[in-house]
Amino acid sequence: MRMFLVEEVHSANVSCLHWSRNAMKLFSGDINGRVVCTEIDYTEVSFTTLSVLTYLIMVLFFLQCLDL
């Protein structure tokens, strides 16, 4: 098990978290409506964080579509 410390991406309290099914992305939303996606690279032991949007967030979930 590895621990990744993701700091200073939210300026307000985080109100929701959701992992993608493959545990490669962590979505977090704060009380100001900022949504952040953190992509985890377990092979390189690194992560990349990017701001997705800022809006009033009521519910946060990740839906991964598969090409069949």
DSSP letters, 1-63, are -------SS-SS-EEEEEE-TTSSEEEEEETT-EEEEEEEETTTTEEEEEEEEES--S-----
Q: Are strands 34-41 and 14-19 parallel, antiparallel or unpaired?
A: unpaired
pLDDT tens track for 19-68? 888 888 888 888 888 888 889 888 887 888 877 665 555 555 555 544 43
φ, ψ of residue 48 to 5 degrees: the values are -130, 130
Instruction: Report the alpha-carbon distance of residue 56 to residue 40 in Å, rounded.
Output: 26
Given a cut of 50, whether residue 4 has pLDDT beyond it is: yes
Residues in a beta bridge with 34: 54
